[in-house]
């Protein structure tokens, strides 16, 4: 299940696509699928190990996804690039088990 927004904008769509990739990564790692009633934060917290580095990246994604989904203002230019970097860090941390 990916996160949906009725707001338009290329940066918004890109950030939500990154979150969809993050959900798939967490689902593969944990075996836990996001429930329809779960918020982004609830799912991210339940689907990962208690790792401060990963947790910090997930917290950032939680805030960014809420902003992309509900803030009608234009998203900052660097938000998508930050999302790509953070997704790569999460992926590396989960692969290494760190």
Summarize pLDDT for 44-66 with one digit per residue, the tens.
Answer: 766 565 566 677 888 888 889 88
pLDDT value of position 7: 53
The one-character DSSP state at 76 is P
- Domain ranges for the chain, please list them: 10-96
- Reported pTM: 0.76
**pLDDT band at 98; cut points 50, 70, 90:** low
Report phi then psi at 94, rounded to 5.
-70, -35
pLDDT value of position 48: 61
Q: Spell out the residues 6+ positions from residue 86 whose beta carbon is closer than 8 angstroms to its own.
A: 57, 60, 61
pLDDT value of position 84: 94
CB 22 within 8 A of CB 90: yes
pLDDT of 69 > 80? The answer is: yes
CB 65 within 8 A of CB 39: no
């Amino acid at each position: 299940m990916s996160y949906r927004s009725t707001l338009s904008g290329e940066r918004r769509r890109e950030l939500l696509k990154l979150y969809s990739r993050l959900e798939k990564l967490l689902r593969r790692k944990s075996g836990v699928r996001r429930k329809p009633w779960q918020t982004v934060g609830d799912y991210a917290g339940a689907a990962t190990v208690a790792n401060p580095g990963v947790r910090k990246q997930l917290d950032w994604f939680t805030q960014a996804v809420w902003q992309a989904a509900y803030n009608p203002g234009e998203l900052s230019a660097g938000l998508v690039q930050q999302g790509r970097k953070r997704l790569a860090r999460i992926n590396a941390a989960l692969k290494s088990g760190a």
